[in-house]
């Protein structure tokens, strides 16, 4: 750390909202701020700077972010440290900073997504400048930043698990989404950069590496020569790819899992399926948001895949990767979704029996194509369809969990009494309840003795 020991450190209080990708941004922000003499505190009232790292993806997330800003300001007025600065970052800041600066004069500064590595420098300026005339807005017009293997980070996850962002931005034209407008076009890190970061994390004791980006399966393809041919036909000779990355990560010494999050059905290939199957360090887990299955809805959503493609891909994944757990998400209540469309989705869920599944009610995102579509669905209809889909999935999940009873399964212990299998990503999936305490952060072999709805109950038998 570049700050000298005789400098009194300033404290940062953090409220980080949204997805794992946003969490990595918060870790990078804290890492950069540490170089300027800032350290994280759990007591926000004692902080010199309180940062609200916002999510701006759907209505509920935006509302949660705004409420967090108001709450932080309220606490400043009732007992927080005198002179405390309130800073807003993340997707909401990137997307709406100009409007928010006018509407929220209580905020001292708005940071964009490209400014996270400069946060400490910007914080220092807040203590040197007069912000009484309005918030400081430091937001690049078009996001282009991407971290490297040696980018400073203050990890916010438990010591045994972490997220590694392998790319940023998105090239997909999904009509319901504005992420490309906020985070820019897809840009991959180099394979070497990711391998160096993961190697260092494993050497430090990390047992679970969760690879994240807006589209993990598109990794490296943005660096291919356009003359190389269709991007769906992955060939190492064309350039870097997720296949090559997984092969290199699999050579790293140590006992750890590599988990793939946020894959897209358009960029899977048989070669990628084989790469996962041959690599014992890649968790038998695929997170692949599908959003819908009816052909008309897929077309309206601009998902770049057909029903036939999705059904064939799911079949090839399950045939090609033994003991695979699949997670997906669907959107109900998209503009123009009829009861026929919705029933088609339910039939697909019932037939395919995804082990992990989430459902979202469509959120009408400003400046998205879908926001301008006719036949917007009433909110009550959206919520009714969401409940129906989740009730169906709850039944499937109970049956899947019950089918695990009697098996011996490798489990990563998050706490002395709770762990997760290869089929369970942090924070979003199921857990294993241990019948006796174990040491946190290690792998245990667990005999599954029962099921509790989504979760499992198990007796740890020995450490691995």
Mean pLDDT of the chain: 92
The architecture (CATH level 2) of 408-463 comes to Beta Barrel (2.40)
Same topology, domains 161-402 and 408-463? Answer is no
Q: Minimal CA–CA distance to 145: which of 164, 168, 165, 123?
A: 168
163: phi then psi, degrees, rounded to nearest 5: -110, 140
Give the pLDDT confidence score for residue 3 in this predicted structure. 40
Pick the CATH number of 10-138 from 3.60.40.10, 3.40.50.12160, 1.10.510.10, 2.40.70.10: 3.40.50.12160
> CA distances (Å), 204 to each of 140, 155, 169, 245, 332, in order?
34, 12, 29, 20, 42
What's the predicted TM-score (pTM) here?
Answer: 0.92
Helix residue spans in 250-292 (DSSP H)? 270-278
125: phi then psi, degrees, rounded to nearest 5: -65, -35
> CA distances (Å), 362 to each of 29, 240, 378, in order?
31, 35, 10
> CA distances (Å), 195 to each of 81, 211, 242, 438, in order?
42, 11, 12, 31
SS3 of residue 282 by DSSP: strand
Give the pLDDT confidence score for residue 134 in this predicted structure. 77
- Looking up tokens 């209540």, which residue turns up? 333
Give the pLDDT confidence score for residue 462 in this predicted structure. 62
Give the pLDDT confidence score for residue 227 in this predicted structure. 47
Q: Minimal CA–CA distance to 337: which of 386, 304, 289, 288?
A: 386
Dist CA 104 CA 134 (whole Å): 9
SS3 of residue 325 by DSSP: strand
Q: Minimal CA–CA distance to 260: which of 191, 164, 180, 360?
A: 164
Domain ranges (residues) in the chain: 10-138, 161-402, 408-463
Give the pLDDT confidence score for residue 98 in this predicted structure. 86
Question: Which CATH number describes the domain made up of 161-402?
Answer: 3.80.30.20
SS3 of residue 416 by DSSP: coil
- Taking 50 as the pLDDT cut, the residues of the chain under it are 1-6, 227-234, 236
Q: Minimal CA–CA distance to 259: which of 412, 463, 461?
A: 412
Give the pLDDT confidence score for residue 91 in this predicted structure. 92
DSSP string, 348-362: HHHHH--SEEEEEE-
Residue spans of beta strands (DSSP E) within 106-235: 109-111, 136-138, 161-165, 167-168, 187-188, 208-212
Give the pLDDT confidence score for residue 141 in this predicted structure. 83
In tens, the pLDDT along 329-377 reads: 999 999 999 999 999 999 999 999 999 999 999 999 989 999 999 999 9
């Amino acid at each position: 750390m570049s700050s000298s020991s005789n400098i009194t450190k300033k404290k940062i209080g953090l409220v980080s909202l949204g997805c794992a990708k946003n969490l990595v941004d918060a870790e990078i922000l804290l890492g950069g701020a540490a170089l300027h003499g800032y350290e994280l505190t759990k007591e926000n009232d004692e902080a010199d700077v309180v940062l609200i790292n916002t999510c701006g993806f759907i209505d509920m997330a935006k509302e949660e972010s705004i409420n967090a800003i108001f709450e932080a300001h309220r606490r400043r007025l009732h007992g927080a440290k005198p002179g405390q600065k309130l800073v807003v970052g993340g997707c909401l800041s990137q997307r709406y900073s100009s409007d928010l600066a006018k509407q929220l004069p209580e905020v001292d500064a708005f940071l964009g997504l490209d400014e996270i590595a400069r946060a400490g420098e910007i914080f220092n300026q807040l203590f040197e400048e007069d912000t009484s005339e309005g918030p400081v807005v430091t937001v690049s017009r078009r996001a282009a930043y991407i971290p490297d293997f040696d980018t400073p980070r203050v990890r916010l996850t438990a010591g045994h698990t972490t997220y590694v962002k392998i790319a940023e931005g998105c090239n997909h034209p999904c009509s319901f989404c504005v992420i490309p407008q906020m985070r820019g076009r897809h840009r991959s890190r180099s394979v070497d950069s990711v391998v160096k970061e993961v190697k260092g994390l494993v050497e430090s004791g990390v047992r679970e590496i969760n690879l994240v980006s807006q589209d993990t399966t598109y990794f490296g393809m943005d660096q291919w020569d356009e003359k190389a041919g269709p991007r769906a036909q992955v060939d190492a000779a064309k350039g870097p790819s997720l296949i090559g990355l997984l092969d290199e990560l699999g050579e790293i010494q140590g006992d750890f899992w590599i988990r793939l999050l946020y894959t897209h059905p358009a960029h899977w290939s048989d070669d990628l399926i084989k790469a996962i199957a041959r690599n014992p360090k890649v968790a038998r887990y695929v997170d692949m948001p599908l959003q819908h299955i009816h052909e008309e809805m897929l077309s309206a959503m601009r998902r770049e895949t057909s029903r036939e493609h999705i059904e064939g891909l799911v079949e090839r994944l399950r045939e090609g990767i033994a003991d695979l757990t699949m997670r997906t998400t669907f959107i109900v209540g998209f503009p123009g979704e009829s009861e026929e469309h919705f029933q088609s989705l339910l039939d697909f869920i019932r037939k395919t029996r995804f082990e992990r599944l989430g459902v979202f009610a469509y959120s009408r995102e400003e400046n998205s194509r879908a926001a301008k579509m006719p036949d917007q669905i009433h909110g009550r209809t959206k919520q009714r369809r969401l409940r129906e889909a989740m009730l169906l999935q709850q039944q499937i999940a109970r049956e899947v969990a019950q089918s695990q009873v009697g098996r011996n399964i490798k489990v990563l212990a998050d706490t002395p009494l709770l762990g997760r299998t290869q089929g369970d990503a942090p924070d979003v999936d199921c857990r294993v309840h241990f019948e006796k305490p174990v040491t946190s952060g290690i792998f245990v072999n667990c005999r599954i003795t029962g099921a509790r709805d989504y979760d499992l109950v198990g007796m740890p038998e020995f450490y691995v």
